[in-house]
């Protein structure tokens, strides 16, 4: 598993500013948490979608490919960090 945190730099209030993803070995999203600048937290997994959040329809690009777009700041995180965010989102 890979765990990813992506900061999205933009001025759209209806889009998340932080995106956390749990990825399988082929980089398909298994779980996702999106955090918005106004404090909203939406999440999704294979069975539940909260808000407009859904799992990706294709595997995520590599961290390097994501980082090539200056509006995105990706970071590989630990499973523990992801689980903390997931627990907060689903509480």
Q: What residues make up the domain containing 35?
A: 2-90
For the chain, the domain total comes to 1
pLDDT value at position 15? Answer: 95
Q: For 30-61, give one letter per residue: b (16+ CB within 10 A) or e.
A: ebbbbbbeeeebbbbbeeeebeebeeeeeebe
Contact 66, 6 (CB under 8 A): yes
Please enumerate in sequence order all residues whose Cβ is within 8 A of that of 22, keeping only pairs 6 or more positions apart, or say none: 1, 2, 3, 29, 30, 31, 32, 82, 86
Mind listing the pLDDT tens digit of every residue in the chain (91 residues)?
A: 999 999 999 999 899 999 999 999 999 999 999 999 999 999 999 999 999 999 999 999 999 999 999 999 999 999 999 999 999 999 9
pTM of the entire predicted model: 0.95
């Amino acid at each position: 598993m890979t765990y990813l945190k992506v900061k999205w730099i933009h001025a759209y209030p209806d889009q998340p500013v932080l995106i956390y993803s749990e990825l399988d070995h082929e980089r398909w999203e298994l779980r996702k948490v999106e955090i918005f600048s106004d404090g909203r937290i939406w999440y999704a997994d294979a069975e539940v979608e909260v808000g407009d959040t859904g799992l990706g329809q294709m595997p995520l690009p590599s961290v390097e490919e994501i980082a090539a777009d200056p509006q995105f700041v990706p970071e590989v995180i630990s499973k523990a960090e992801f689980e903390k965010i997931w627990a907060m989102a689903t509480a």
